[in-house]
Structure 1
Amino acid sequence: MEKKFDYKKEYKDLYLPKKKPSLIDVPEMIFIAVDGKGNPNTSQEYKEAMEILYGLSYTIKMSKKDGTKPKDYFDYVVPPLEGLWWFDDESYKGGTIGDKNDFLWTSLIRQPDFVTEEVFIWAKEKLQNKKPELNLSKAKYLKWKEGLCVQIMHIGSYDTEIESINKMNKYIEQEGFVTDINNNRKHHEIYLSDPRRCKIENLKTVIRHPVKKI
């Protein structure tokens, strides 16, 4: 059986950091993304975003089954869900502690390099025929270079992330950097565990903050 390319295993620096902060320069990658607002636990908009992201990602991945696979296709494991999170209210000062109903977010799933904008458009058309109820106009093709960041592996509930963020902030200061969260660079999470199948205390989440040198 042909081995599937697994981004988490091949790029451990991006997806499997230690439980202590570290510096990383994140290269350009290709994503499918959906923007939205609201509490991810209760928002219908977030639920629809998941349907869109996974629907498109698996349409592309499973194209090998019906002979429609794109040029340069290779078999792979769909990369983990990621999220950028922020608030409009300046009183939050770039943080992620506040009323979850006020969250603004971009949800993303990385795509292989063979996924061009043309492949993305093709996947939208194919999924729309299968699920006409989905509003695929919300999906966007994104080439994104995140650049210099500090990241950490957070173990446990999403509600306790502040503990890991405090460790990151201390490291950032000690290393002569400052957090560079702004309109273009956001608080970033990568979800390595499925909360439906994993105990809360065992959840693994990569937390990543953009930084710049003082």
Structure 2
Amino acid sequence: MESLSLAEELVLLSYDDSGTATVASPELDYAVAGAVLCDLAVGGQIAIDADGRVLTDDDPAGGYAPGDARGRGHGRELLDQVRTRIQAEPGRATRDWVVDLSHGVVDEVLNGLVVSGVLRRERDRVLWVLPRPKFAPPDGGEPPAETETRRRLAAAERGAGPVGPRTAALACLLNALDVPNVAVAQPLDARRRPPAVLGPAAWPIAATTDVVAGYRATVARSVFAATDVATGS
């Protein structure tokens, strides 16, 4: 079985077996963009300085660190495409990249999972009228790749051995999104000492968490404002 990228793992865990997303946009988009940055950072394809600015080295063909950064086939192509974009605009803030890369990134990951046979695209309608796609496992059961990801997260939650930066990053992203029905390593040291456990992924995780929290705060303010108007407060 080919290894999945963090973005692919996060998307699989964020869709149920019926092919429906359990996390709304744009929160999922931000988190998937952050997952891409985490994979590149852990794999040594990008560097992030002390001020959170994203840089690349001078070798665009540099290899990924064995056992750390994943992504083959379409998953790898997305990582390479993002790295090329970053190389063309070095020095931008991690948070800015999370926002910019979020546009369309979930669709790209889903399309790659369909092409690789992990998911299949189905037609569905909302209220029997509005068309929407669904992305379900081909045989109706949990994809083996997702099962393996859940096993890794469960092992981290039990404290069964050391937790690598990719697993810690995935757990942090899932915690930030509140993805339902996923065993997430809540007690990870990453929650207390992010740089020590997450390694190079610490900056993307911090930036993603900040963007998601900012979006939620904006929505909450809008709801409160609308309620005040409706009640005449």
TM, length-normalised to structure 2:
0.24
TM, length-normalised to structure 1:
0.26
**Larger strand fraction of residues:** 1
Which structure is higher in RCO with an 8 Å CA cutoff and minimum separation 6?
A: 1
